[in-house]
Amino acid sequence: MRHTRLYHPQALTLNSPVILTEEKSHYLIQVMRYTIGQELILFHQVNKEFFGKIIAIEGKKKPRVTIDIYAEKITSTESKLEITLIQGLAKNDKMDWIVQKAVELGAAEIYPVITDFSEVRLNPERLLSKQQHWQNIAISAAEQSLRTHVPMIHGPQKIIDCLENIKLEIQANPIFCLHPHPPAVSLTKQLEALSSPKKITLLIGPEGGFSPKEIAYFEQARYSLVTLGPRILRTETAAIVMQSLLQHQFGDL
């Protein structure tokens, strides 16, 4: 029987009891119907899993669960390829789907960005709420996919601001911008020229793609404009296909 697997926001230590968050406690007791003595797995941003047992449940309407950590195991489910996904904000629940699948595929971090053609317009308060919502999706996806690292979902910002802010972090690594029109070249040809990169950055536009102004910026910055073939994919499809191809070529798929 597979144990329930949960992310814990604080560091975990063998033989040190931990109190789960209100959200995780509610999930275990009210949803999964766990009781004292049942076991589960916890993890926290390291290549380890911790095995625990419920030793106390306090409260009924808002239960708080205490876990005794009795064992640990070194595990490595993280890809050797670090993919940074810079994703144009997509409409409706498409962003939820993109974040979930990107985490399952091993993305190291995700930057939702506002582009010239973005149809999503949110006020600052709503943006903050969305960021936390996507971070929770990332946590759930990491729990399900056996990852031990939960990718950071950064707050939405304008794409040029984002690229300027992280320029030093990504400039030494391949940067692929998906674009369905010339002068973009086949992704396959671009990959043939690479020799086992450790980090890659992907730029995926929203519905409608990138504007001529943004493409000009990418070209000036010497980013690689690539295409996935003669058919134009939806933004949520493109993000997953790109990561799958890269993980197959240089990662662990």
CA pair distance 238, 253, nearest whole angstrom: 17
Q: Over the stretch 199-225, which tens digit does the pLDDT of each residue have?
A: 999 999 999 999 999 999 999 999 999
What's the pLDDT at 1? 54
Q: Over the stretch 63-87, which tens digit does the pLDDT of each residue have?
A: 999 999 999 999 989 999 999 999 9
For residues 7-34, average pLDDT: 94
Q: Which CATH number fits domain 5-74: 2.30.40.10, 1.10.760.10, 1.10.10.2520, 2.40.240.20?
A: 2.40.240.20
Q: Over the stretch 145-188, which tens digit does the pLDDT of each residue have?
A: 999 999 999 999 999 999 999 999 998 999 999 999 999 999 98
Name the CA dihedral angle for 84, 85, 86, 89, rounded to a multiple of 10 degrees: -150
Mean pLDDT of the chain: 93
CA pair distance 228, 112, nearest whole angstrom: 21
What's the pLDDT at 187? 92
- Determine the CATH number of domain 82-250: 3.40.1280.10
Within a 10 A sphere around the Cβ of 36, how many other Cβ atoms? Answer: 11
Q: Over the stretch 35-53, which tens digit does the pLDDT of each residue have?
A: 999 999 999 988 999 999 9
Q: pTM of the prediction?
A: 0.93
CA pair distance 216, 230, nearest whole angstrom: 22
Domain with CATH 3.40.1280.10 in the chain: 82-250
